[in-house]
Amino acid sequence: MVANKASSIEVKKINRNVIYKFLYKHDPISIQEIAYTLNMSLPTVTQNIKELQERDLVIETGLFESTGGRKAKAIAYNSLAKYAVGLDVTRDHIGIVLIDLSGKVIKNERKQYPFVNSREYFEGIGNLVKHFIEDCKIDKSKILGVGIALPAILSADRQTVSYATVIDFKGGSVKSFSEFIPYPCALSNDANAAGLAEMWVDGNIENMAYLSLNDSVGGAIIIGKNIYPGENQRGGEFGHMTIVPNGRTCYCGQKGCVDAYCSAKILSASSNGSIAEFFRLLKLNREPHKALWEEYLTHLIVTINNLRMLYDCNVILGGYVGAYLDEYIDDIRELVARRNTFEVDGTYLHVCKYKLEATAVGAALQHVENFINNV
Protein backbone atom coordinates (compact mmCIF):
# COMPACT_ATOMS: atom_id res chain seq x y z
CA MET A 1 0.00 0.00 0.00
CA VAL A 2 2.75 2.41 1.02
CA ALA A 3 4.80 1.41 -2.01
CA ASN A 4 1.78 2.02 -4.26
CA LYS A 5 1.26 5.45 -2.84
CA ALA A 6 4.92 6.32 -3.29
CA SER A 7 4.88 5.16 -6.88
CA SER A 8 1.71 7.12 -7.69
CA ILE A 9 3.39 10.29 -6.37
CA GLU A 10 6.38 9.40 -8.51
CA VAL A 11 4.20 8.93 -11.60
CA LYS A 12 2.53 12.27 -10.92
CA LYS A 13 5.90 13.96 -10.72
CA ILE A 14 7.06 12.34 -13.95
CA ASN A 15 3.87 13.44 -15.74
CA ARG A 16 4.26 17.00 -14.52
CA ASN A 17 7.85 17.06 -15.70
CA VAL A 18 6.95 15.62 -19.10
CA ILE A 19 4.23 18.28 -19.53
CA TYR A 20 6.52 21.10 -18.42
CA LYS A 21 9.36 20.04 -20.71
CA PHE A 22 6.91 19.69 -23.58
CA LEU A 23 5.69 23.26 -23.02
CA TYR A 24 9.28 24.47 -22.73
CA LYS A 25 10.03 23.28 -26.24
CA HIS A 26 6.76 24.25 -27.93
CA ASP A 27 4.84 27.31 -28.96
CA PRO A 28 1.69 28.05 -26.96
CA ILE A 29 -0.68 25.12 -27.23
CA SER A 30 -4.11 24.09 -25.90
CA ILE A 31 -4.65 21.61 -23.07
CA GLN A 32 -6.51 19.34 -25.50
CA GLU A 33 -3.54 19.27 -27.85
CA ILE A 34 -1.07 18.62 -25.01
CA ALA A 35 -3.19 15.65 -23.89
CA TYR A 36 -3.46 14.37 -27.45
CA THR A 37 0.25 14.75 -28.28
CA LEU A 38 1.51 13.28 -25.00
CA ASN A 39 -1.13 10.56 -24.97
CA MET A 40 -2.35 11.57 -21.49
CA SER A 41 -5.88 11.94 -20.20
CA LEU A 42 -7.45 15.39 -20.24
CA PRO A 43 -7.99 15.43 -16.42
CA THR A 44 -4.31 14.54 -15.85
CA VAL A 45 -3.11 17.38 -18.07
CA THR A 46 -5.67 19.84 -16.66
CA GLN A 47 -4.66 19.04 -13.06
CA ASN A 48 -0.95 19.38 -13.80
CA ILE A 49 -1.37 22.63 -15.71
CA LYS A 50 -3.35 24.00 -12.75
CA GLU A 51 -0.51 23.10 -10.38
CA LEU A 52 2.10 24.58 -12.66
CA GLN A 53 0.00 27.75 -12.98
CA GLU A 54 -0.20 28.05 -9.22
CA ARG A 55 3.59 27.98 -9.14
CA ASP A 56 3.64 30.65 -11.87
CA LEU A 57 5.62 28.29 -14.12
CA VAL A 58 2.88 28.14 -16.75
CA ILE A 59 0.74 30.97 -18.08
CA GLU A 60 -2.20 31.53 -20.42
CA THR A 61 -1.12 33.62 -23.38
CA GLY A 62 -4.51 34.04 -25.07
CA LEU A 63 -7.17 32.16 -26.95
CA PHE A 64 -6.94 30.14 -30.13
CA GLU A 65 -9.25 30.96 -33.02
CA SER A 66 -12.08 28.48 -33.00
CA THR A 67 -14.04 26.99 -35.87
CA GLY A 68 -17.07 26.79 -33.60
CA GLY A 69 -17.77 26.27 -29.93
CA ARG A 70 -15.64 27.56 -27.09
CA LYS A 71 -12.20 28.93 -27.92
CA ALA A 72 -9.30 26.96 -26.42
CA LYS A 73 -6.83 28.68 -24.10
CA ALA A 74 -3.25 28.93 -25.28
CA ILE A 75 -0.90 27.56 -22.61
CA ALA A 76 2.81 28.37 -22.47
CA TYR A 77 5.66 28.02 -20.02
CA ASN A 78 6.52 31.27 -18.22
CA SER A 79 10.04 32.19 -19.32
CA LEU A 80 10.20 34.90 -16.64
CA ALA A 81 9.41 32.61 -13.70
CA LYS A 82 13.10 32.08 -12.91
CA TYR A 83 16.46 33.55 -13.84
CA ALA A 84 20.08 32.49 -13.70
CA VAL A 85 23.34 34.40 -13.58
CA GLY A 86 26.44 33.42 -15.53
CA LEU A 87 30.03 34.54 -15.06
CA ASP A 88 32.77 34.26 -17.66
CA VAL A 89 36.05 34.44 -15.76
CA THR A 90 39.03 35.16 -18.00
CA ARG A 91 42.60 36.12 -17.23
CA ASP A 92 41.90 39.85 -17.63
CA HIS A 93 38.12 40.27 -17.66
CA ILE A 94 34.89 39.25 -16.07
CA GLY A 95 31.70 38.91 -18.10
CA ILE A 96 28.37 38.65 -16.31
CA VAL A 97 24.89 37.94 -17.67
CA LEU A 98 21.38 37.47 -16.40
CA ILE A 99 19.28 35.10 -18.49
CA ASP A 100 15.66 34.06 -18.25
CA LEU A 101 14.47 30.46 -18.51
CA SER A 102 14.57 30.59 -22.31
CA GLY A 103 18.28 31.46 -22.26
CA LYS A 104 17.62 35.02 -23.43
CA VAL A 105 20.14 37.57 -22.15
CA ILE A 106 18.26 40.15 -20.04
CA LYS A 107 21.33 42.09 -18.96
CA ASN A 108 25.05 41.79 -19.47
CA GLU A 109 28.22 43.55 -18.42
CA ARG A 110 31.89 43.01 -19.18
CA LYS A 111 34.70 44.70 -17.37
CA GLN A 112 38.42 44.55 -16.90
CA TYR A 113 39.00 42.52 -13.76
CA PRO A 114 42.25 40.54 -13.81
CA PHE A 115 42.08 37.16 -12.13
CA VAL A 116 44.06 36.92 -8.89
CA ASN A 117 43.87 33.87 -6.68
CA SER A 118 43.15 35.89 -3.56
CA ARG A 119 40.35 36.47 -1.06
CA GLU A 120 40.05 40.09 -2.23
CA TYR A 121 39.40 38.97 -5.80
CA PHE A 122 36.63 36.53 -4.82
CA GLU A 123 35.08 39.05 -2.45
CA GLY A 124 35.11 41.57 -5.31
CA ILE A 125 33.36 39.04 -7.58
CA GLY A 126 30.76 38.49 -4.86
CA ASN A 127 30.08 42.23 -4.64
CA LEU A 128 29.91 42.49 -8.41
CA VAL A 129 27.30 39.72 -8.55
CA LYS A 130 25.24 41.26 -5.74
CA HIS A 131 25.23 44.72 -7.36
CA PHE A 132 24.48 43.28 -10.77
CA ILE A 133 21.45 41.41 -9.44
CA GLU A 134 20.26 44.50 -7.55
CA ASP A 135 20.49 46.52 -10.78
CA CYS A 136 18.34 43.90 -12.54
CA LYS A 137 15.50 44.72 -10.13
CA ILE A 138 14.07 41.24 -10.00
CA ASP A 139 12.85 39.23 -7.06
CA LYS A 140 15.95 37.52 -5.60
CA SER A 141 13.97 34.36 -4.86
CA LYS A 142 13.65 33.92 -8.63
CA ILE A 143 17.42 33.49 -9.07
CA LEU A 144 18.22 29.82 -9.55
CA GLY A 145 21.94 30.24 -9.08
CA VAL A 146 25.22 31.52 -10.45
CA GLY A 147 27.19 29.55 -13.03
CA ILE A 148 30.91 30.28 -13.19
CA ALA A 149 32.85 29.43 -16.34
CA LEU A 150 36.62 29.12 -16.00
CA PRO A 151 39.43 28.66 -18.53
CA ALA A 152 40.41 25.51 -16.65
CA ILE A 153 39.88 21.78 -16.50
CA LEU A 154 37.66 20.70 -13.64
CA SER A 155 37.51 17.59 -11.50
CA ALA A 156 34.84 15.01 -12.43
CA ASP A 157 32.47 16.39 -9.76
CA ARG A 158 33.15 19.94 -11.03
CA GLN A 159 33.88 21.19 -7.51
CA THR A 160 37.59 21.80 -7.98
CA VAL A 161 40.09 22.79 -10.67
CA SER A 162 42.49 20.07 -11.76
CA TYR A 163 44.43 22.01 -14.41
CA ALA A 164 44.78 25.70 -15.14
CA THR A 165 47.51 27.72 -16.79
CA VAL A 166 45.57 30.65 -18.28
CA ILE A 167 44.55 31.65 -14.76
CA ASP A 168 46.48 30.83 -11.58
CA PHE A 169 43.79 28.64 -10.02
CA LYS A 170 45.09 25.05 -10.08
CA GLY A 171 43.63 23.19 -7.10
CA GLY A 172 41.05 25.98 -6.68
CA SER A 173 37.51 25.25 -5.54
CA VAL A 174 33.98 26.48 -6.14
CA LYS A 175 34.03 27.41 -2.43
CA SER A 176 36.33 30.35 -3.16
CA PHE A 177 33.43 31.89 -5.12
CA SER A 178 30.47 30.57 -3.12
CA GLU A 179 31.82 32.06 0.12
CA PHE A 180 30.90 35.50 -1.25
CA ILE A 181 27.96 34.69 -3.54
CA PRO A 182 24.67 34.10 -1.69
CA TYR A 183 23.23 31.78 -4.38
CA PRO A 184 23.96 28.20 -5.43
CA CYS A 185 27.22 28.24 -7.42
CA ALA A 186 28.36 25.78 -10.09
CA LEU A 187 31.62 25.72 -12.05
CA SER A 188 31.99 24.83 -15.70
CA ASN A 189 34.75 24.73 -18.28
CA ASP A 190 34.50 27.85 -20.49
CA ALA A 191 34.35 26.14 -23.89
CA ASN A 192 31.94 23.48 -22.65
CA ALA A 193 29.69 26.26 -21.37
CA ALA A 194 29.75 28.03 -24.75
CA GLY A 195 29.03 24.72 -26.49
CA LEU A 196 26.02 24.18 -24.22
CA ALA A 197 24.72 27.66 -25.10
CA GLU A 198 25.02 26.87 -28.83
CA MET A 199 23.14 23.64 -28.39
CA TRP A 200 20.40 25.46 -26.45
CA VAL A 201 19.80 27.99 -29.18
CA ASP A 202 19.13 25.26 -31.75
CA GLY A 203 16.95 22.55 -30.26
CA ASN A 204 17.57 20.25 -33.24
CA ILE A 205 21.29 19.79 -32.68
CA GLU A 206 22.13 16.23 -31.61
CA ASN A 207 25.88 16.16 -32.18
CA MET A 208 28.37 18.96 -32.58
CA ALA A 209 32.05 19.82 -32.33
CA TYR A 210 32.29 23.36 -31.01
CA LEU A 211 35.60 25.10 -31.68
CA SER A 212 36.09 28.05 -29.37
CA LEU A 213 38.46 30.60 -30.92
CA ASN A 214 39.16 32.82 -27.94
CA ASP A 215 42.45 34.17 -26.60
CA SER A 216 43.03 30.54 -25.81
CA VAL A 217 41.52 27.88 -28.08
CA GLY A 218 39.22 25.28 -26.57
CA GLY A 219 36.22 23.30 -27.58
CA ALA A 220 33.33 21.08 -26.64
CA ILE A 221 32.13 17.77 -28.02
CA ILE A 222 28.39 17.26 -27.85
CA ILE A 223 27.07 13.77 -28.54
CA GLY A 224 23.35 13.05 -28.32
CA LYS A 225 22.74 16.49 -26.74
CA ASN A 226 25.21 15.79 -23.95
CA ILE A 227 28.71 17.13 -23.46
CA TYR A 228 31.27 14.38 -23.81
CA PRO A 229 33.68 15.19 -20.96
CA GLY A 230 36.23 12.49 -21.65
CA GLU A 231 37.74 10.22 -19.02
CA ASN A 232 39.78 13.03 -17.48
CA GLN A 233 37.51 16.01 -18.22
CA ARG A 234 39.81 16.93 -21.10
CA GLY A 235 37.48 16.03 -23.96
CA GLY A 236 37.36 18.77 -26.60
CA GLU A 237 40.68 20.40 -25.68
CA PHE A 238 41.14 21.12 -29.38
CA GLY A 239 43.62 23.91 -28.65
CA HIS A 240 46.31 21.34 -27.87
CA MET A 241 45.94 19.09 -30.90
CA THR A 242 49.28 19.07 -32.72
CA ILE A 243 48.97 20.48 -36.22
CA VAL A 244 52.62 21.39 -36.91
CA PRO A 245 55.34 18.95 -35.77
CA ASN A 246 57.99 20.99 -33.90
CA GLY A 247 56.03 24.12 -34.68
CA ARG A 248 55.49 27.27 -32.64
CA THR A 249 55.65 26.97 -28.88
CA CYS A 250 52.24 26.89 -27.21
CA TYR A 251 51.59 28.44 -23.79
CA CYS A 252 51.21 24.86 -22.53
CA GLY A 253 54.90 24.23 -23.24
CA GLN A 254 54.40 21.89 -26.19
CA LYS A 255 55.16 22.74 -29.80
CA GLY A 256 52.82 23.02 -32.77
CA CYS A 257 49.49 23.13 -30.89
CA VAL A 258 46.39 24.58 -32.58
CA ASP A 259 46.40 27.33 -29.95
CA ALA A 260 49.73 28.68 -31.16
CA TYR A 261 48.19 29.25 -34.63
CA CYS A 262 44.45 29.81 -34.10
CA SER A 263 44.17 31.80 -30.88
CA ALA A 264 42.31 35.10 -31.29
CA LYS A 265 45.50 36.79 -30.05
CA ILE A 266 47.31 35.81 -33.28
CA LEU A 267 44.95 38.24 -35.04
CA SER A 268 44.30 40.87 -32.39
CA ALA A 269 48.02 41.34 -31.67
CA SER A 270 48.11 43.35 -34.92
CA SER A 271 45.28 45.65 -33.83
CA ASN A 272 46.01 46.73 -30.26
CA GLY A 273 44.44 43.61 -28.83
CA SER A 274 41.03 44.30 -30.38
CA ILE A 275 39.51 41.57 -32.51
CA ALA A 276 36.78 43.96 -33.73
CA GLU A 277 39.48 46.34 -34.96
CA PHE A 278 41.31 43.47 -36.67
CA PHE A 279 38.25 42.55 -38.72
CA ARG A 280 37.58 46.20 -39.54
CA LEU A 281 41.09 46.57 -40.96
CA LEU A 282 40.85 43.23 -42.74
CA LYS A 283 37.71 44.44 -44.49
CA LEU A 284 39.71 47.42 -45.75
CA ASN A 285 42.27 44.99 -47.20
CA ARG A 286 45.00 46.40 -44.98
CA GLU A 287 48.34 44.73 -44.40
CA PRO A 288 49.62 42.97 -42.36
CA HIS A 289 46.07 41.99 -41.42
CA LYS A 290 45.31 40.39 -44.77
CA ALA A 291 48.47 38.27 -44.74
CA LEU A 292 47.89 37.32 -41.11
CA TRP A 293 44.35 36.24 -41.91
CA GLU A 294 45.46 34.09 -44.83
CA GLU A 295 48.03 32.35 -42.68
CA TYR A 296 45.53 31.95 -39.84
CA LEU A 297 43.06 30.36 -42.25
CA THR A 298 45.51 27.70 -43.46
CA HIS A 299 45.78 26.38 -39.91
CA LEU A 300 42.12 26.86 -39.11
CA ILE A 301 41.15 24.80 -42.17
CA VAL A 302 43.37 21.90 -41.08
CA THR A 303 41.85 22.02 -37.60
CA ILE A 304 38.28 22.09 -38.89
CA ASN A 305 38.92 19.24 -41.31
CA ASN A 306 40.43 17.16 -38.50
CA LEU A 307 37.32 17.74 -36.37
CA ARG A 308 35.05 16.72 -39.23
CA MET A 309 37.08 13.55 -39.84
CA LEU A 310 37.04 12.69 -36.13
CA TYR A 311 33.41 13.31 -35.30
CA ASP A 312 31.50 13.34 -38.61
CA CYS A 313 29.09 15.97 -37.31
CA ASN A 314 28.49 19.70 -37.55
CA VAL A 315 31.43 21.89 -36.62
CA ILE A 316 30.61 25.26 -35.03
CA LEU A 317 33.08 28.14 -34.99
CA GLY A 318 32.72 30.15 -31.80
CA GLY A 319 34.62 32.41 -29.46
CA TYR A 320 35.82 35.97 -30.16
CA VAL A 321 36.86 35.05 -33.71
CA GLY A 322 33.78 32.95 -34.47
CA ALA A 323 31.53 35.92 -33.73
CA TYR A 324 33.01 37.76 -36.77
CA LEU A 325 32.94 34.94 -39.29
CA ASP A 326 29.47 35.31 -40.83
CA GLU A 327 30.79 37.16 -43.85
CA TYR A 328 33.72 34.77 -44.35
CA ILE A 329 31.89 31.49 -43.86
CA ASP A 330 31.30 30.80 -47.58
CA ASP A 331 35.03 31.13 -48.31
CA ILE A 332 35.95 28.98 -45.32
CA ARG A 333 33.45 26.31 -46.38
CA GLU A 334 35.00 26.21 -49.82
CA LEU A 335 38.48 25.84 -48.34
CA VAL A 336 37.49 23.02 -45.98
CA ALA A 337 35.69 21.22 -48.80
CA ARG A 338 38.88 21.22 -50.87
CA ARG A 339 40.68 19.40 -48.06
CA ASN A 340 37.89 16.90 -47.45
CA THR A 341 38.21 13.29 -48.60
CA PHE A 342 34.50 12.54 -48.78
CA GLU A 343 32.53 15.72 -49.31
CA VAL A 344 32.34 18.31 -52.03
CA ASP A 345 30.94 21.10 -49.85
CA GLY A 346 31.42 22.43 -46.36
CA THR A 347 27.81 22.75 -45.31
CA TYR A 348 28.61 20.98 -42.03
CA LEU A 349 30.45 24.11 -40.92
CA HIS A 350 28.58 26.89 -39.08
CA VAL A 351 29.22 30.13 -37.31
CA CYS A 352 28.08 30.34 -33.68
CA LYS A 353 24.63 31.84 -33.11
CA TYR A 354 25.45 33.29 -29.70
CA LYS A 355 27.69 36.27 -30.49
CA LEU A 356 27.33 37.82 -27.07
CA GLU A 357 28.69 36.20 -23.92
CA ALA A 358 28.10 32.60 -25.02
CA THR A 359 30.36 31.33 -22.26
CA ALA A 360 28.60 33.20 -19.45
CA VAL A 361 25.20 32.21 -20.87
CA GLY A 362 26.23 28.55 -20.98
CA ALA A 363 27.45 28.72 -17.38
CA ALA A 364 24.05 30.12 -16.34
CA LEU A 365 22.19 27.52 -18.41
CA GLN A 366 23.50 24.75 -16.15
CA HIS A 367 21.11 26.05 -13.48
CA VAL A 368 18.25 26.34 -15.97
CA GLU A 369 18.82 22.79 -17.20
CA ASN A 370 18.85 21.50 -13.65
CA PHE A 371 15.65 23.39 -12.85
CA ILE A 372 13.79 22.12 -15.92
CA ASN A 373 14.78 18.54 -15.16
CA ASN A 374 13.41 18.82 -11.64
CA VAL A 375 10.12 20.71 -12.06
Q: Pseudo-torsion of CA 243, 246, 251, 253, nearest 10°?
A: 120
Rounded CA separation 279/12 (Å): 54
Which of 85, 193, 257, 282 binds Zn ion (CB under 5 A)? It is: 257
Q: Closest approach of Cβ 248 to Zn ion, in Å?
A: 10
CA distance 244 to 356: 32
Q: Which is nearer to Zn ion, 143 or 153 (CB)?
A: 153
Binding mask 161-180 for Zn ion (x = CB under 5 A): --------------------
Bridge partners, 316 (sequence order): 210, 350
**Which residue lies nearer to Zn ion by CB, 47 or 242?**
242
* 164 vs 257, beta carbon nearer Zn ion: 257
Per residue, the 3-state secondary structure of 74-121, as one string, reads EEEECCCCCEEEEEEECCCEEEEEEEECCCCEEEEEEEECCCCCCHHH
Give the pairing of strands 208-213 and 217-223.
antiparallel
Residue 249 touching Zn ion (CB under 5 A): no
241 forms part of the interface with Zn ion (CB under 5 A)? no
Which range, of 23-31, 90-98, 249-257, 284-292, touches Zn ion by CB under 5 A? 249-257
Query: Position 58: which residue type?
Result: V
Q: Does residue 40 belong to the site contacting Zn ion (CB under 5 A)?
A: no
State in angstroms the smallest separation of the CB of 242 from Zn ion: 8
CB of 253 to Zn ion, least distance (A): 7
Using rule CB under 5 A, residue 221 touches Zn ion: no
For helices 2-25 and 31-38, give the axis angle rounded to 10 degrees. 110
Tell me the β-bridge partners of 105.
99
265 binds Zn ion (CB under 5 A): no
Residue 102 contacts residue 364 (beta carbons within 8 Å): no
Nearer to Zn ion, 225 or 234 (CB): 234
Any contact of residue 361 with Zn ion (CB under 5 A)?
no
SS3 of residue 301 by DSSP: helix
Among 59, 72, 252, 329, binds Zn ion (CB under 5 A): 252
Q: How far is the CB of 97 from Zn ion (least distance, A)?
A: 29
- How many residues touch Zn ion under the rule CB under 5 A: the total is 5
Stretch that binds Zn ion, among 40-48, 77-85, 153-161, 246-254 (CB under 5 A): 246-254
Q: 313 in helix, strand or coil?
A: coil
Residue 276 or 310: the one with the smaller Cβ distance to Zn ion is 310
Q: What are phi and psi of 127, to 5 degrees?
A: -65, -40
Using CB under 5 A as the criterion, which residues of the chain lie in contact with Zn ion when the complex forms?
240, 250, 252, 254, 257
